[in-house]
Amino acid sequence: MTTSWPKPSADGAQRGSLATSWPAVHLTTLSNGLVVAVAPMAHLHAAAVSVFARVGSRYEDAGDNGLSHLLEHVLFRGCEAYPTSWELNVAAEQVTPGLGGATYRDFSAFDAVCAPDDVPAILDILGAMLGRPLFAGVDLERRVILEEIADEVDERGRDIDVDNLAKRALFPGDPIAFKIGGTPRRLAAFTEQDCRRWHAEHYVGRNMVVVVAGPVQAQEVARAAAAAFGDLPPGTRMPSRVPQVRPDLPAFEYTKASGSQTSIQLAWALPGEASPDWTALLAAQRLLDDGSCARLRQAIVEERCLAYDVSVDLEAYEGVSVMAVEATVSHKNATAVVDGMLEVLEALVRCPPEPEEWERMRRRYFFELSSTVDSPGAVCSWIGLERLQMPHSGIRDRHDRMLALDPAAVARAAERYLSPSRAQLTVVGELDTMSRAALRRRMHRYRRA
């Protein structure tokens, strides 16, 4: 076991309240390679425990798609210490409101909040659940997942989720575009042996991080984590590769689906957070969609009244990011909304933020970062994902990079990365022939430009 203890920050004055409030992180690496991170936060009354693993649809191939998610469900069905889901939940609910679990594209997470004195018990339960599962109830969880993913398909079983379809179009054939829950056909083929194989490959020391935040003693937590997770085999850290982007952008994909509204997504493949341009892209995302005064909401919702809501997400993965501009609107407004989205995006190049807009965006962002210390669960997420996959994405790094950013960099980044000529337009709904042709012409126009 090797342990490193934090050193005082030398640049706290530049970080303001974040420097004085963000907890020191105590790191311990167990002999099996598992990293334990503890963030003592004496001002809180509750603690949070999170376990992260590099397992998700990004690490699957076509034959295994959906297996990460199925295994996450199966892990809640019992383990050697608590042989049934009932016994597992009874043990957990004596010390926490409930155990949580979720599968994402590039990681899975398990978490609980509890009283500080109950942290060792939570670690013991999670260690038993993740380290020594019985792999029971595969058929039962398969049925549960079929219900879970039913809202992504129509009555014929076709995928009508605009985000799924947009990822598939932007990264054709790449695992990062796979559906997290898989497909009914693949789910039907998975067996207990598949779950055992997947667990043996991914739930190993070098592929996992345990994080605890709250009013706790770091050394005591590190010892409890070692007792709970120290028996995991070392295994190997799952590698990831940068996905290949569709070569014929801009592109337009349409899926006909019945309903009262049409879903629209404009998506761009962007560099990962290690890129020097990433913070400018983050600033662009927040200028477009951060509160009622943000540019996109003003243009689409407040001024033109074309939609109830419009959103811009910047999804950061290891080595790649995706910006997605999305709205769900009445069929007749679809083309006007796409035009409005593209106009606002293009205006980022011509109209860099004025000082008032820039400072408003940054104040809101810095408040969001600093208020993280009021939530031990949020602190666990920041620390865990930083240690698991993005060592350059710490909260202080984010703060300092935004603090140093020149507003003019937003226009440069928008021109380079957010041009309509690089966009994937995906539409799901009921558009007439003329509307579909109009959208196709719009995207083709940018290809020729």
How confident is the model over 130-151, as pLDDT tens digits?
999 999 999 999 999 999 999 9
Do both 218 and 271 map to the same domain?
no
Please give the pLDDT value at position 449: 60
Q: For 155-183, write each residue's pLDDT tens digit.
A: 888 999 999 999 999 999 999 999 999 99
Q: How confident is the model at residue 448 (pLDDT cuts 50, 70, 90)?
A: low
Do both 301 and 170 map to the same domain?
no
DSSP string of 120-168? HHHHHHHHHHHHSB----HHHHHHHHHHHTGGGB-TTS-B--HHHHHHH
Do both 131 and 28 map to the same domain?
yes
Please give the pLDDT value at position 86: 98
The answer as to whether 186 is a domain residue is: yes
Percent of the chain whose predicted confidence (pLDDT) is above 70? 94
Six-digit token pair at 389? 């996959």
Q: How confident is the model at residue 13 (pLDDT cuts 50, 70, 90)?
A: very low
Do both 167 and 310 map to the same domain?
no
Instruction: Report the 10 Å Cβ neighbour count for 111.
Output: 22
pLDDT averaged over every residue in the chain: 94
Block residue for tokens 């190993």: 204
Residue 424, domain CATH: 3.30.830.10
Do both 77 and 214 map to the same domain?
yes
Choosing from 170, 198, 229, the residue where a domain stops is 229
Please give the pLDDT value at position 14: 41
Q: For 178-223, write each residue's pLDDT tens digit.
A: 999 999 999 999 999 999 999 999 999 999 999 999 999 999 999 9
Q: How confident is the model at residue 10 (pLDDT cuts 50, 70, 90)?
A: very low
Do both 267 and 149 map to the same domain?
no
Six-digit token pair at 392? 């350059």
**Which runs of E-coded beta strand occur in 190-303?**
208-214, 251-256, 261-271
Six-digit token pair at 10? 């030398």
Summarize the confidence of residues 261-288 as an average pLDDT: 97
- 3-state SS, residue 312: strand
DSSP string of 216-230? --HHHHHHHHHHHHT
Do both 290 and 416 map to the same domain?
yes
Do both 86 and 188 map to the same domain?
yes
Q: For 309-346, write each residue's pLDDT tens digit.
A: 999 999 999 999 999 999 999 999 999 999 999 999 99
| Full residue range of the structural domain in which residue 191 is found | 20-229
Domain count, the chain: 2
Do both 155 and 303 map to the same domain?
no
DSSP-derived secondary structure letter, 58:
G
Do both 131 and 209 map to the same domain?
yes
Rounded-to-integer distance, Cα 356 and Cα 354, Å: 6
pTM: 0.93
Q: For 397-411, write each residue's pLDDT tens digit.
A: 899 999 999 999 999
49 with 123: CB under 8 angstroms? yes
Choosing from 229, 262, 285, the residue where a domain stops is 229
Summarize the confidence of residues 62-79 as an average pLDDT: 98
The answer as to whether 15 is a domain residue is: no
Q: Which of 45, 97, 41 is nearest to 380 (CA)?
A: 41
The answer as to whether 384 is a domain residue is: no
Summarize the confidence of residues 261-269 as an average pLDDT: 98
Cis peptide before 184 (omega within 30 of 0): no
Q: Which residues pair with 328 in a beta bridge?
A: 263
Choosing from 229, 264, 282, the residue where a domain stops is 229
Do both 205 and 144 map to the same domain?
yes
The answer as to whether 57 is a domain residue is: yes
Do both 348 and 270 map to the same domain?
yes
